[in-house]
Structure 1
Amino acid sequence: MELTAKKIILGLLLVSDGQPLTVRSLIDACALFGIKENNVRVTLTRLSADGLIEAAGRGSYTLGLPVQSLADQVASWQTMEQQLAPWHGGYVAVYTGSLRRSHRKTWQRRERALTMCGLRELDRDLYVRPDNFQGGADFIRSRLQALGMEDEAAVFAASDFDSQRMDAITRLWDARSLNAHYRKDRQRLEKWLARHQALEAEVAAREVYIMGAQAVRSLVFDPWLPAPMIDAEARHTYLETVKRFDETGKALWQRLYQIRIGMPFMSEEQPTTGVLQ
């Protein structure tokens, strides 16, 4: 994973629960990854100019308004399982054929929103996913819009696909790879948790950030498929492991920063492993 000042700054602010982080804390965090102070300060200036972050008092920053909604959706990985509902074989569909294609950033936000909601393209401009969230199409519509997708997109419940499209739908998600990932990555995280106390503080902080970011990102972009399409028990076990890993990361970063600076890095409620954008 290539780490830059921009990725680390946005990654930490993205999971800071809306609370500001000081410039000193961000400089110190980036230093763990070999990024120099001047690089961090230049990056902060650029991010502020772009509106991605904003000043929150003297010498501290928080996320800018354009990405606050995204931050809320990213943070929902911990509670997404609670939003699931029994699946009765139906689907939620999204049609994007009437939306603009010329604006690159708008298209990128749209594609990210569709992917984060587990939607896959069945036919040109027609995306589907299993209807297994509480609230059905309304839930997906609200989440897509919160993730930056245009309100004009048609979002609706769908069923009774022809046999050819039903066969195609079953191939839209690689359930075998997902199941393998849940098991393999859980083992990787558990192995690290069993040995991390023997690591030097700075080494442990770096590793927990990188590994945690990768794990959280996989859950943020998980399609949250229903059983029997997916091994729901393996996913649940993986989710619980990632939560424990995140809590361990929070404690490690708090301890390291208090030793260095004599003050907390984040409040008790804030996770320190996040999604590197």
Structure 2
Amino acid sequence: MKLNARHLILDVMLASDAHVLSAREAILACRTFDISENSVRVALVRLSAEGLIEGAGRGSYRLATAARDLAGDIATWRQAEQRLRPWQKDWLVVFSAGLGRSDRTALNRRERALQMLGFRELDKGLHVRPNNIEKDVDAVRKRLHSLGLESDASVFSANDWAPAREKEMLKLWDIEALTRQYESVQIQLRAWMARASDLDPEVAARECFLLGGQAIRHVIFDPLLPEPLVNAKDRQAFVQTVREFDQLGHSIWRKLYDINE
């Protein structure tokens, strides 16, 4: 898989607990993926000019305000299930039909925010999900706004849907595919962890970064559906496996940095 310096630097920063990266660490990380030092330095300058990263001391960078809200939300993936509460059979609704679609940047942010919170489109501009996340609707609204949903969008809860409509709503998620994903990702990650110690340090760092990134993305975009729509134990086992893989990945990268001191 070919990565560019820009995306790799941002991904490594997002993976870091403090969202801070030294130029040396950026160069080493990119070298692991055959990206030249010159490309890294050009990417750092451009990311800084775009306001996505900023200086954090001599030779170090951190995510800037423009990227920090998204980073903060992504960083909470390990505790995602703590946001769940019992489902009372009501639904969260986002109505955005009145918002423009010509601004591609705003549209992409809107769609990303809705996807990250597990919303699905029922009708044009009408997105729904079970009301089982966050402590109340206001918390959901604030989180959607922080992720990029425009403040003009209406966010509310609703019940008393016609039975036929609710039946449509329940089909918006492919539950069987989601359950297969929980199982397949676990099998893949555990098989890799079983052989990780036999790999060359740079190979291990490269492979765990790619595999871990894909797995964490699955967690971030998991719709966190309530029971009985999904088996919560299957999801918990999946998330726990990703946590263990992430811890191993951090250990592998720390050792690689130490080797190259």
Give TM class, smaller chain.
over 0.9
What secondary structure sits across from 1:172 in the alignment?
coil
8 Å CA contact retained: 1:18, 1:63: no
Q: Per-residue deviation at 1:56?
A: 1.6
- 1:118 is matched with 118
Alignment of 1:255-270 (within 5 A): 255-261=255-261
More deviation, 239-248/89-98: 89-98
Task: Give the corresponding residue for 2:43.
Answer: 43
* Residue of structure 2 equivalent to 1:164: 164
Deviation per CA, 1:108-138, whole angstroms, max 9, x where unpaired?
A: 1000000001001111111000011242322
CA deviation after TM superposition for structure 1 residue 227, in Å: 0.9
1:197-233 deviation per Cα after TM superposition (whole angstroms, max 9, x unaligned): 1111111111110000000011111100011111211
Greater relative CO, 1 or 2 (CA 8 Å, sep 6+): 1
Matched position secondary structure for 2:112: helix
1:79 partner SS: helix
- SS of the residue 2:85 aligns to: coil
Q: Does 1:81 align with 2:81?
A: yes
Shift of 1:86: 1.0
**CA deviations over 1:79-118 (Å, ceiling 9, x no partner):** 1101111112111001012223221101110000000010
The AA in structure 2 aligned to 1:210 is L
Task: State, as a whole percentage, how many aligned pairs show the same letter.
Answer: 45
- Is 1:237 aligned to residue 237 of structure 2? yes
For residues 2 and 121 of structure 1, the distance between their equivalents in structure 2, rounded to whole angstroms, comes to 33
- The letter of the residue matching 1:71 is A
Counterpart position of 2:223: 223
Q: How far, CA to CA, are the matches of 1:202 and 1:20 in structure 2?
A: 21
Q: TM-score, normalised by structure 1?
A: 0.91
Match of 2:6 in 1: 6
Query: What's the counterpart of residue 53 of structure 1?
Result: 53
d(CA) in 1 for partners of 2:59, 2:229 = 49
- TM-superposed deviation, 1:170: 1.3
Report what 1:15 is aligned to.
15
**How many pairs are equivalent?**
261
Q: Which amino acid aligns with 1:256?
A: L
Matched, 1:209 2:209: yes
The aligned counterpart of 2:152 is 152
C-alpha distance in structure 2 between counterparts of 1:2 and 1:97, whole Å = 38
Aligned residue for 1:104? Answer: 104
Counterpart CA distance in 2 for 1:123 and 1:116 is 19
Contact 1:136 1:157 in 2 (8 A): no
Structure 1 unaligned residues grouped into runs of 5+: 262-277
Q: Distance in 1 between matches of 2:111 and 2:75?
A: 19
Aligned AA (1:250): H
Q: What root-mean-square deviation, in Å, do the aligned CA atoms of Structure 1 and Structure 2 show?
A: 1.2
Shift of 1:19: 4.4
CA distance in 2, matches of 1:250, 1:14: 12
The alignment partner of 1:149 has SS state of: coil
Q: Is the 8 A contact 2:2 2:33 kept in 1?
A: no
Q: C-alpha displacement at 1:43, in angstroms?
A: 1.0
- SS state at 2:113 partner: helix
Moved over 4 A (4+): none
Q: Secondary structure of the equivalent of 1:21?
A: strand
